[in-house]
Amino acid sequence: MFAPSPDRRAPPPSFARGLLAALAIVLLACALTVRGDTIPARSAELHEEDGEVLLSAEFDFTLNSTLEEALSKGIALYIDLEFRLTRPRWYWVDEKVVDSVTTYRLSYAPLTRQYRVGSGLMSQSFATLGEVERYIGRVTSRPVARASQLSKGTRYDAALRLNLDVNQLPKPLQVSALGSHEWQVASDWLRWSFTP
C-alpha cells in the first residue's frame, strides 16, 4: 500500500494563516493612516428651552468630486451626525448622559433630477447639491436631551462630529473606500463644555 506523499510545494496551513493575518494587519494600518477630507466646523452650542436641551451647530460640509460622481451613479451616501454628552467624574470613568447618532441618507434621482435626504421617517427633496450640503451642515435647535436629565450647575462635556459612514456603502465599494482618502470624509470631534 502506498501512501500519497505530501506535496512539498504547498505551504503548511499555519504559514498561510500567518500570512493572511499579516496582510490583514497591513490593510488595517493603511486604513487607519489614510486621512481624508476634513469637514470644518464653524460653531456648536447647547441651550435650554421649554424643558429640553437643544443642539445648534454649523459645518462647512461639501462633497468631493468622487462622492458627487458616486451619487450621480445611483449610490446612496450615509452621513452620520454623532453627538455625545458626558459628565466628568474624577473617581471613575465619565458618565454617559447622551450618545446619539443621526444618519442622513443622501441619494440622487436622475429621472426627476432631484436630491433626496432622508433621516428616520422624514425625507426632503432638493434641486441642487449646494442646498443639500447646507441642509446637512446646519443643525438648528435639535432636541438632544431633557433638561430634567441634567443636574443644575454641573459641568458637562459635549462632543460633536459629522462623517461619511463607509460601512453602509455597497460591499465592493467598502473595500476600495478603506484605502482611499477620497472616501474618508469627516470632521474632527468638536468639543466644548456646557453647564445647565
| 18 three-class SS | helix
Return the closest-CA partner of residue 190 out of 81, 88, 92. Answer: 81
Q: Kindly report, residue by residue over 45-69, the tens digit of the pLDDT.
A: 999 999 999 999 999 999 999 999 9
HEC profile of 94-140: CEEEEEEEEEEEEEEECCCCEEEEEECCEEEEECCHHHHHHHHHEEE
| Global pTM value | 0.77
Contact assessment for residue 158 and residue 150, using Cβ atoms and an 8 Å cutoff:
no
Task: Name the pLDDT band for 179 (thresholds 50, 70, 90).
Answer: confident
Q: 152 vs 25, which has greater pLDDT?
A: 152
Q: Kindly report, residue by residue over 98-148, the tens digit of the pLDDT.
A: 999 999 999 999 999 999 999 989 999 999 999 999 999 999 999 999 999
pLDDT of res. 127: 96
Residue 162 has pLDDT above 80, yes or no: yes
